[in-house]
Amino acid sequence: MIAARCACRILLSLAVVATPLFAVPVDIHVLGSNGEPLGGALVIIQYLQNGKEREISRVLTNAQGQVALKDLQPGLYRAIATDPYRSWRTQVRELLVEDKPATIKLELAHESTDDPDVAAVGRLTVHVLDASGEPAQGARVLLRDAEAHPRSESWGTTDASGTVNLEVTQNSSLLVILYDGRLYSFPANSYDTERTLRLR
């Protein structure tokens, strides 16, 4: 009897340990540029950690263009919505999941037929300032193209002066910054060599 009770307690303890501390629901809504929901579009969710991506979900939207994710853990993710068979352009968005439900909308434009050129064309020095204008040390910074092609991504972490150097490609178009538990995004281009960004 005592052994059975001990075994039961151990199983309950393991169940508690295995249960996530947070299970955050996130709803993804995929629309066409005409505002209509896109059913049957593919949504890929990646977990971003230390400059690397790990795919955790791949699912098609329902007839209302929705995907319901029930159990994401707090952290930095990327949502990729694509529908190449109907000539919609892939849309990519980074999202910071916190301990509260979230709704994300992704709008797909019509796809062009040109292949992307992701050749490196230079370097970009980014100076990141916090809301008070002080250097934002330890900020994670990503420079990428609109569709997050793997070879277009350049990651870095700001130093004590709030500065980071990133590789620029011909199609660089977005800077994403994670700092002090908040996510920021800024438009970018392929010809700037230095930027100062203030996080407000």
pLDDT tens for 67-81 read 999 888 899 999 999
Using alpha carbons, select from 174, 171, 191 the residue that is nearest to residue 123: 191
CA 167 distance to own-chain centroid? 19
Q: How do residues 83-98 score in pLDDT, each as one tens digit?
A: 877 778 899 999 999 9
Q: In degrees, to the nearest 5, what angle opens at C-alpha 74 toward C-alphas 13 and 9? A: 5
Identity (one letter) of the amino acid at 46?
Q
The pLDDT, as a whole number, for residue 2 is 47
Q: How do residues 152-177 score in pLDDT, each as one tens digit?
A: 899 999 999 999 999 998 889 999 99
Q: Distance between CA 196 and CA 183 in Å, rounded? A: 17
Domains of the chain: 25-108 (2.60.40.1120), 120-198 (2.60.40.1120)
Report pTM.
Answer: 0.67
With 50 as the cut, is the pLDDT of residue 7 above it? no
Q: Is 182 helix (H, G, I), strand (E, B) or coil?
A: strand
